[in-house]
Structure 1
């Protein structure tokens, strides 16, 4: 029966010395070392035809039986293009080999693991491949084109530690793993180096993604994102630490991960955290300070929004919740307050020419919003420190009580009921100091400065002080300027304190109700 060319041993006769050695090694299931390291030049002792390697990888024929261990060779010079497209291949080990041309294995199926440790390859085209083991490419080099493994399925892991992907030097991506399914973990460790874009958008990883002691640089073709993890799903952890250089342009939009293990110094600028979700910080991620975490979030790429209120709150709230779940409530509070501060007092609003008509409206709107933000920060720490409101309440209670006490001594506190003044005898006896007058009837409540202060502050509570006592305030001047600039006295100060306490009391009461309502809603959620 006639076979296709390249599927019979006769198609390769006479064999070279290196090929003859490899044939015997494949038959016995042993590995073959043609040189001590990766060859720098082709010699008769290390040269293998790519077509012959393919013939052995596909199982040989009746004249060339292949052991279950498959092809195992190290230090070979692979001459020509090794094309394994749409092939079913046994376990193959091509360590420290030099490939003259791109390794092609689109839609191939590997029944075992693929070992390419230490090899130098111009490029890899492996979109849609299925590997029932792992792919090992430690300390290797892909020097001219991208390593393309898009939509591939790897039932083990991917090991790229110590390798260099240099496709970006020639206007190409460094690595393409878009929409791949990895049942193990992916490792970019130990001096991993990439020049050009590393694309992992839509990748699904059942293990972890580890990127440490690595560097990712921009190639000759500028790219918005150097590390693209858009829509990636990582079941366990994303490790991003000990980077040789901070990575600029990391896209995590829509990505999900359970644990984030990162260092602040590993991240560069131009980050995208839109809809990025993770549950916990772990490891070194727990040692990142709250200020560093806020600075990390500020590295996000901001849209050309007209208002800082358009800042995406989701990444900030995700970090706050993750910090709380990770046992760092103080960090969560600080990051939450930093977000509120950015929202109220962030970058200056950009006014475009077509919107100049609303310029003043925008200015006053920003002033009002920042005033509200300042009050929120001072009074309740943007809602993260509600106990501050109690502190301010106690402070103004004592401040008002002290002022009313002094006003009592200055004879500035008077009864508010007109009936008291109708008693001429009582008015004559008590006009020196109504508060200290012993002739006041027992039915009239005695003045207490601190109870009076508390009665003014509490809007819905009647302590029988505010309705029975009032303060002495001088009358208004005839001229407007005199009223504004001259007519000032201790009585005016008393009146201002009274008005301030009324406003503060109602405001703090409304804030307290809002906080209680919000707390109940969060607990229900």
Structure 2
């Protein structure tokens, strides 16, 4: 049977793919010379390696039927594809697999449904695939996309692969590579946004709402621009080991409300720009092990998030870290992992891992640029108590009270210092005992040397300096020595000091005990 085609003339390369499509056979136009076959040199390839995009589209849209017993598909290597490959709104049953090809214009899969799309090692202009459904693998391994990838609200039922790819945001040509930090420090006006091609164009991958049922493998990726993954769902996890992202705006990754089985920014991952994951949910490990992070303001914004395990062991961090109001199951970190500014207010965790001293943890919880916050101290103390380290918990709560003291008025600060000196805010009650011993020893020695005078000479009494001193220290006279003897000369001042000290010690002990026994260990 003779098949008709909607083209008057096909080039030699086009004729080969036309004939091969019904069986899904490969058409390889490469010469075997590595330099010549590099897709970067695609514009110089002649007619024998040139294929019009409309011919590819016609085949995928049903211009030829599959051969009985075979699976149709377009598998093409080493071709120069001219024109826009427009497959928008289409339902494609044949797979599309391009290897080492050069595509000079946009590939559009907007609202399309496909059975698998692979661009491996290709040189491409731009990909538009908003709301696309890929029933299988979506692959861009080793490819270069010069003006960004759009995948907002797309759905990939298989894997999403971008390993070793090179992606550029449409607006990145307006940025000097050495000035990205200075540019990111200030907001742009509307005119500057338009002039510089920013706004939406600062993103190399625009994929808000993307759903990937399998794993998303973006290892060794090189990005000039940012990854916008707001609301994306990666059920099999997303993996960016050894990838390098250089932001052209303020954010290297914006992934608010993202859901993932695991997230790997590790093993040499580098980001110049903020990684923002506000309200994200990670059901497995979120790892920054051996990562290098740099941003002019905040390098990591992970507030209001839920993470089963956070491994925060970057090699280098330049910029603040915000973990406020997040819920983390296991936090594995190190003393050198954090910058000078860390926001921890509202952070809760089930377990801490890492080699920390208590002093280093105390330094960690007091780095909030907004000043004193009680919750980080209470959370840390609660964890120490949960693992049975009560002395460390008391040390943390004592540090909390000392930090809080700086926020009080002068009278409050004075009373706080007195409580700290006498009983350590109730967390060091042994201090009160030490003061009692010192005062008892001093009073006993003085009153033994300069005994007080008996008030009623007719009453027969034997003076005991130790008992007399103890009776002065106790707020309510127990041994009836205070009313029987009266200090003489300068020892009156000592007696008054002992009485006042007794009241202060008793008041401090009561206040400290109330503070310790309060359920919230509050202020």
Q: If the length of structure 1 is used for normalisation, what is the TM-score?
A: 0.71
The answer to whether the 8 A contact 2:285-2:310 is kept is yes
Correspondence 1:232-251 to 2 at 5 A: 232-234=305-307, 236-241=308-313, 243-251=314-322
The answer to whether the aligner puts 1:85 opposite 2:130 as a matched pair is: yes
The answer to whether the 8 A contact 1:179-1:200 is kept is yes
Q: Which ranges in structure 2 are unaligned for 5 or more consecutive residues? A: 43-48, 50-76, 99-113, 169-203
Equivalent position of 1:486 in the other structure: none
The answer to whether the 8 A contact 2:214-2:234 is kept is yes
The answer to whether the aligner puts 1:142 opposite 2:223 as a matched pair is: yes
Equivalent position of 1:277 in the other structure: 348
Equivalent position of 1:432 in the other structure: none
Alignment partners' CA distance in 2, 1:335 and 1:215: 31
Alignment partners' CA distance in 1, 2:96 and 2:267: 40
The answer to whether the 8 A contact 1:50-1:81 is kept is no
Equivalent position of 1:334 in the other structure: 395
Correspondence 1:371-390 to 2 at 5 A: 371-390=414-433
Choose 1 or 2 for highest CA Rg. 1
Distance apart, 1:125 and its partner CA: 0.9
**CA distance change for structure 1 residues 467 and 50 in 2, over 3 Å: closer, same or farther?**
farther
Distance apart, 1:53 and its partner CA: 8.9
The answer to whether the aligner puts 1:501 opposite 2:498 as a matched pair is: yes
Distance apart, 1:176 and its partner CA: 1.0
**CA distance change for structure 1 residues 496 and 71 in 2, over 3 Å: closer, same or farther?**
same
Secondary structure at 1:281's aligned position in 2?
A: strand
**CA distance change for structure 1 residues 327 and 156 in 2, over 3 Å: closer, same or farther?**
farther
Correspondence 1:22-101 to 2 at 5 A: 41-43=40-42, 46=78, 60-61=92-93, 70-71=116-117, 74=120, 76-89=121-134, 90-101=136-147
The answer to whether the 8 A contact 1:49-1:78 is kept is no
Q: Deviations over 1:397-440 (max 9, x none)?
A: 222222222223xxxx21122xx2xx5xxxxxxxxxxxxxxxxx
The answer to whether the 8 A contact 1:39-1:98 is kept is no
Indicate which of 495, 507, 510 corresponds to 2:507: 510
Indicate which of 352, 356, 368 corresponds to 1:288: 356
- Of Structure 1 and Structure 2, which has the larger fraction of its residues in helix? 1
Correspondence 1:394-413 to 2 at 5 A: 394-408=437-451, 413=452
Equivalent position of 1:129 in the other structure: 210
The answer to whether the 8 A contact 2:423-2:509 is kept is no
**CA distance change for structure 1 residues 35 and 26 in 2, over 3 Å: closer, same or farther?**
farther
Indicate which of 155, 163, 181 corresponds to 1:117: 163
- Of Structure 1 and Structure 2, which has the larger fraction of its residues in strand? 2
Secondary structure at 1:375's aligned position in 2?
A: helix
Distance apart, 1:232 and its partner CA: 1.4
**CA distance change for structure 1 residues 91 and 373 in 2, over 3 Å: closer, same or farther?**
same
Secondary structure at 1:246's aligned position in 2?
A: strand
The answer to whether the aligner puts 1:325 opposite 2:389 as a matched pair is: no
Distance apart, 1:200 and its partner CA: 0.6
The answer to whether the 8 A contact 1:59-1:65 is kept is no
Alignment partners' CA distance in 2, 1:151 and 1:100: 25
**CA distance change for structure 1 residues 524 and 142 in 2, over 3 Å: closer, same or farther?**
closer
Correspondence 1:106-505 to 2 at 5 A: 106-122=152-168, 123-143=204-224, 145-167=225-247, 170-182=248-260, 184-218=261-295, 222=296, 224-234=297-307, 236-241=308-313, 243-282=314-353, 284=354, 287-302=355-370, 311-344=372-405, 365-366=409-410, 368-408=411-451, 413-417=452-456, 420=457, 444-473=460-489, 492=490, 494-505=491-502
Alignment partners' CA distance in 1, 2:343 and 2:21: 54
Q: Deviations over 1:52-78 (max 9, x none)?
A: 999699874369899x9945564x214
The answer to whether the 8 A contact 1:281-1:326 is kept is no
Alignment partners' CA distance in 1, 2:504 and 2:12: 93
Distance apart, 1:39 and its partner CA: 6.0
Q: Which one is further off, 53-62 or 290-299?
A: 53-62
The answer to whether the 8 A contact 1:54-1:83 is kept is no
**CA distance change for structure 1 residues 116 and 257 in 2, over 3 Å: closer, same or farther?**
same
Q: Deviations over 1:470-497 (max 9, x none)?
A: 2122xxxxxxxxxxxxxxxxxx1x2222
Provide the alpha-carbon RMSD of the alignment.
3.9
Distance apart, 1:509 and its partner CA: 1.6
The answer to whether the 8 A contact 2:97-2:118 is kept is no
**CA distance change for structure 1 residues 456 and 64 in 2, over 3 Å: closer, same or farther?**
closer
Distance apart, 1:141 and its partner CA: 0.9
Equivalent position of 2:175 in the other structure: none
**CA distance change for structure 1 residues 345 and 107 in 2, over 3 Å: closer, same or farther?**
closer
Alignment partners' CA distance in 2, 1:78 and 1:211: 31
The answer to whether the 8 A contact 1:58-1:88 is kept is no
The answer to whether the 8 A contact 1:146-1:165 is kept is yes
Distance apart, 1:369 and its partner CA: 3.9
